[in-house]
Structure 1
Amino acid sequence: MTTAAAARRRYVLITFLTWLPAGLYSAPLVLLLLDRGLSLGTIAAIGAVYSVAVVVLELPTGGLSDVLGRRPVLAASAVAGLAGLALLGLAGAVWLLMASAVLRGVARALSSGPAEAWYVDAVHAAQGRDADLGPGLARGGMAASAALALGVLAGGVIPFAWPGGATVTDAGGSGGLAGLAVPVLLAAACELVLLLVVVFAMTETRGPRPGFGEVLRGVPATVATGLRLAGRDHVLVRVLLVAAATGVGLAVVELLTPAWMAVLSGGAGRGVLAYALVAAVGFAADAAGSALGVPLTRWLGSPGRAACAGTLLAALALGGLAGTARLAGWLGLGAAGVAYLLMFLGLGAAVAPIGRLLHDRVEAAERATVLSVQSLLLQLGAAGGSVALGALAAARGPGAAFAVSGVLLAAAALTVWGLPRRRDVQPRALLLRHVGPHIPTRDRPREDRISRS
Structure 2
Amino acid sequence: MTARSALHRYMLVSFLTWLPVGLTMAAMVLLMTGRGLSLAQVGLVVTVYSLVTVGLELPTGGLADVVGRRVVLAASAAFTVAGLALMSVSTTFWMFLVSGVLKGVARALSSGPAASWYVDTLHGLRGRAADLKPGLARGGAMESVALCLGVLVGGGLPLLVPPGLMFPLAAPPSVGALAAVLLLVVVLLALPEPPHPRRSPASVLREVPATVAASVRLAAGGGVLRRLMLAAASSGVVLTAIELLTPGRLAELAGTAERGSLAYAVVAALGFAGSAVGSALAPRAARLAGGSARGAIAGAVLSALSVGSLAATAGLDGAAGLLSAALAYVVLFLGISVTGLLCLEMTHNAVSAAERTTVTSTSSLSLQAGGTLANLALGALAVQAGIAAAWGVAAVVALSSALLFVRMPLAGRAVVPEESGRPV
Q: What TM-score, normalized to structure 1?
A: 0.90
Q: 1:331 to 1:160 in 2, by over 3 A?
A: farther
Give the secondary structure class of the aligned counterpart of 1:181.
helix
The corresponding residue for 2:263 is: 274
Cross-structure match for 2:289: 300
Task: Provide, for residues 67-102 of structure 1, a one-character-per-residue CA deviation record: whole Å limited to 9, x for no partner.
Answer: 010000000000111101111111111111110000
Map of 1:309-328 to 2, 5 A cutoff?
Answer: 309-328=298-317
Deviations 1:207-240 (A, max 9, x none): 3321100100000000011001101111111111
Separation in structure 1 between the aligned mates of residue 118 and residue 373 of structure 2, nearest angstrom: 32
Q: 2:352 touches 2:417 (CA, 8 Å); kept in 1?
A: no
> For residue 230 of structure 1, what is the aligned residue in structure 2?
219
- Asked if the contact 1:317/1:340 (under 8 Å) is kept, the reply is yes
Verify: 1:217 aligned to 2:206, yes or no: yes
- Would the aligned equivalents of 1:138 and 1:294 in 2 still touch at CA under 8 Å? yes
> Could you tell me how far apart the structure 2 residues matched to 1:180 and 1:397 are?
35
SS for the counterpart of 1:136 is helix
Taking the TM superposition and a 5 Å limit, the aligned residue runs for 1:83-232 are: 83-163=82-162, 178-232=167-221
Residue aligned with 2:169, SS:
coil
Q: Secondary structure at the match of 1:327?
A: coil
3-state secondary structure, aligned to 1:180: helix
Task: State the partner residue of 2:373.
Answer: 384
Distance 1:427 1:192, change over 3 A: closer
**Equivalent position amino acid for 1:12 in 2:** M
Give the aligned partner of residue 75 of structure 2.
Answer: 76
Distance apart, 1:427 and its partner CA: 8.2
State the partner residue of 2:39: 40
Asked if 1:7 corresponds to 2:26, the answer is: no
The more displaced of 137-146 and 251-260 is 251-260
Is the 2:234–2:397 contact (alpha carbons within 8 Å) kept by the matching residues of 1? yes
CA shift for structure 1 position 418: 2.5
- Per-residue CA deviations over 1:355-412 (Å, capped at 9, x if unaligned) read 2211111000000000000001111111111111011111111111111111112111
Instruction: Please tell me whether the aligned partners of residues 133 and 356 of structure 1 are also in contact (alpha carbons under 8 angstroms).
Output: yes
CA–CA distance in structure 2, aligned partners of residues 148 and 427 of structure 1: 36
Match of 1:352 in 2: 341
Which one-letter code corresponds to 1:388 in the other structure?
Answer: A
Aligned equivalents of 1:178, 1:266: Cα separation in 2: 29
**Contact persistence 1:53–1:106 (CA under 8 A):** yes
Contact 1:141 1:351 in 2 (8 A): no
Aligned AA (1:180): L
1:134–1:353 CA contact under 8 A, matched in 2: yes
Question: Match of 2:411, SS?
Answer: coil
Q: Please tell me the residue identity of whatever aligns with 2:50.
A: S
| Alpha-carbon displacement from aligned partner over 1:410-438 (angstroms, at most 9, x marks no partner) | 11122113313323536899x78xxxxxx
- Please say if residues 351 and 412 of structure 2, whose CA atoms lie closer than 8 Å, have aligned partners that are also in contact: no
CA contact (8 A) 2:83 2:99 kept: yes
Deviation at 1:121, TM superposition (A): 0.2
Q: Match for 1:255 among 244, 259, 284?
A: 244
Structure having the higher helix fraction is: 2
How far does residue 158 in structure 1 lie from its aligned partner after superposition?
A: 2.1
Q: What is the alpha-carbon distance in structure 2 between the residues aligned to residue 413 and residue 29 of structure 1?
A: 35
Is there any run of 5+ residues in structure 2 with no aligned partner, and where? none
> In structure 2, what is the Cα distance between the partners aligned to 1:39 and 1:423?
49
Question: Residue in 2 aligned with 1:265?
Answer: 254
Within 2, Cα distance between the matches of 1:203 and 1:141? 21
Question: Does the 8 A contact of 2:70 with 2:191 survive in 1?
Answer: yes
Cα displacement (A) at 1:151: 0.8
> What SS does the corresponding residue of 1:415 show, helix, strand or coil?
helix
Give the Å deviation of 1:161.
Answer: 4.3
* Deviations 1:228-260 (CA, angstroms, capped at 9, x unpaired): 110111111111111101111111111111222
**1:8-27 aligned within 5 A:** 8-27=7-26
**What's the CA shift string for 1:123-166, capped at 9, x where partnerless?**
0000000001010010011001111111111122222444469x
Contact 1:135 1:352 in 2 (8 A): no
What SS class does the counterpart of residue 271 from structure 1 fall into? Answer: helix
2: CA distance between counterparts of 1:318 and 1:427? 41
Whether contact under 8 Å (1:137, 1:351) holds in the other structure is no
Question: Is the contact between residue 78 and residue 107 of structure 1 (CA under 8 Å) also seen in structure 2?
Answer: yes
> SS at the partner of 2:168?
coil
2: CA distance between counterparts of 1:183 and 1:142?
22
Q: What's the offset of the Cα at 1:31?
A: 0.9
Q: Distance in 2 between the 1:164 and 1:330 partners?
A: 36
| Unpaired runs of at least 5, structure 1 | 166-176, 433-440, 446-453
Inter-CA distance 351–5: structure 2 relative to 1 (3 Å threshold): farther
Task: Summarize the Cα distance change of 1:428–1:134 in structure 2 as closer, same or farther, 3 Å threshold.
Answer: closer
Residue 352 of structure 1: how far off its partner (Å): 3.1
**Amino acid in the other structure paired with 1:281:** L
